[in-house]
Homo-oligomer: A and B are copies of this chain.
Amino acid sequence: MNFDQVNVPRKLVPANYLQLGLEAQRSKQRSFKELVEKRKLPENGWADEQIEELVYQLSALDSNNFPHKVGLGEREARIACRLVARRHYNFGHGIGRSGDLLEAQPKAAGSTLLARLTNALILDLMRAIGVPSCAGCFLVPMCTGMTITLCLQSLRKRRPGAKYVLWSRIDQKSCFKAITAAGLEPVVIPCQIQGESLHTNISSFRDTIKALGVENILCLYTTTSCFAPRNSDDIYEVSKLSQEWDLPHLVNNAYGLQSVDIVRQLERAHRVGRIDYFVQSSDKNLLVPVGGAIVASFNESLLHDVASTYAGRASGSQSLDVFMTLLSLGLNGYQSLIKQRNDNFIYLRENLKKFAQSRGEVVIDSRSNSISLAITLGTIAADRMESITQLGSMLHQRGVSGTRVVVPGQIKTIDGHEFLDFGSHRSDLKVPYLTVASALGVTRIEIDKFFDIFGKCWHQLGQKKESKTILTDKELH
């Protein structure tokens, strides 16, 4: 709907008034044209109204929204509840086509356009923030773990005889289950401990490759973003190994896009070695609701293998979320979020060090982790071990979420594999610790409140008074 070729009668509005109004619309049309034609993330965020107008323009291109549609198939994107229709801006057809997430839908030009444009904007973002060599990427409407499974499944098509996945240990359940879900065999590469900090064990990777035989190995599987005191895996060295042995390399970059260090490391690793896919969560990196992941690659054709492994047509809801969010933030908005996060990380670290010092603890030195920090809980443990298990619960009850207390002695079995000291990414933890993170969107106010509450809980634990426990520590992790 637009005023082109509409002769607005002077009785409705004087022509000169209208002219001024119409002129003001030009910049909007220009930015729309630019967005579609250049497929580039705008520098500055768009106004909400402009975003919604575009989204409605797109959904109007889908056949379920045609005024005179006649639907005689089994899937016509009818939406029974108008609240549901409204919250999806009348999009109903999802994305992709039976068996390929990247295919266009003849019935749904708008959904197609939205999904592809979203992928283009993400790509533009990735290149702008530090991975200029990124060749392509797309949003998968599944969690990071399942998306990694999908990558593994598509790698298997290329290497049908290989079944081992060499995995640098990280104690996060779904990272591991991503392997078993694909029906593959995980091979755990334990981390190397330096001080109390955990690093990628490159020589163990190399030895294991030799021991198992290259032809039997599906891929190397590393993780960047993680809880301290584990560090981001040394993807630089693993990429070199990968290239050396001609083995695929899959990087779980779960929430790594928000860290400048990690992003740069991806680019550097690609330059000297090999990364087939790097996968990241859309919720943690782009601040949308849980439910999507982004597969990226330095080789565009590899992406099609993954897209065509998905068996069916998928939800378009996650694309819509990312699309609206990116338009709303613009490149500048996103970069300022990254900057704030980084500043807050430094602020958190400095304050945590002060907190530790005054209480006889230390912040474990894990310098290749630029998101998460770990503070030892030795003095409390010395006093009374049970106190520590209360700490997480106490913090949670006071509104602090996301901190994790890790204590020695936890054993966990996942799909038949036993992990000692689960949660610590190692099998010989001695000193308990607590992790805190400065993730995208955290505010200085939250950090200040945290220290206030943390201090009070610490004091209370010292006095051994806390009795009621609403959430056990176990429930929290």
Task: Assess the A313–B329 pair: CB atoms within 8 A.
Answer: no
Tell me the nearest residue of chain B to A11, going by C-beta. B116
Some 15 contacts from A to B, beta carbons below 8 A apart, are A1-B2, A12-B36, A17-B112, A24-B61, A24-B66, A74-B254, A74-B439, A75-B281, A76-B439, A81-B321, A81-B328, A84-B288, A142-B315, A146-B311, A317-B318
Could you say which interface size class chain A belongs to? 35 or more
In whole angstroms, how far apart are the Cα atoms of A87 and B99 in the complex?
28
Chain B residue contacts of A183, Cβ below 8 A = 153, 156, 182-183
Say yes or no for A471: interface residue by CB 8 A criterion: yes
Q: Which residues of the other chain, B, contact A150 by a CB distance below 8 angstroms?
A: 181
Is A370 close to B, CB under 8 A?
no
Tell me which of B6, B174, B401 contacts A69 (CB under 8 A).
Answer: B401
A140 to chain B, nearest CB (A): 10
Partner of A81 from B292, B324, B414 at Cβ < 8 Å:
B324
A309 in the interface, Cβ–Cβ < 8 Å? yes
Closest 10 pairs (CB-CB, A-B): A73-B402, A291-B315, A94-B290, A21-B61, A143-B312, A145-B312, A145-B311, A80-B287, A21-B109, A78-B441
Contact between B8 and A113, CB atoms less than 8 A apart: yes
Q: Are B22 and A446 in contact (CB under 8 A)?
A: no
Q: Is the CB of A325 within 8 A of B437?
A: no
Residue from B84, B92, B98 in contact with A145 in the complex, judged by beta carbons closer than 8 Å: B98
Inter-subunit contact B71/A148 (CB<8 Å): no
Chain B residues with Cβ below 8 Å from A470 are 16, 19-20
Q: Are A18 and B48 in contact (CB under 8 A)?
A: no
Binary per-residue interface labels of chain A (101-138) against chain B in the complex, 1 for a CB within 8 Å, 0 otherwise: 00011111110110011001000000000000000000
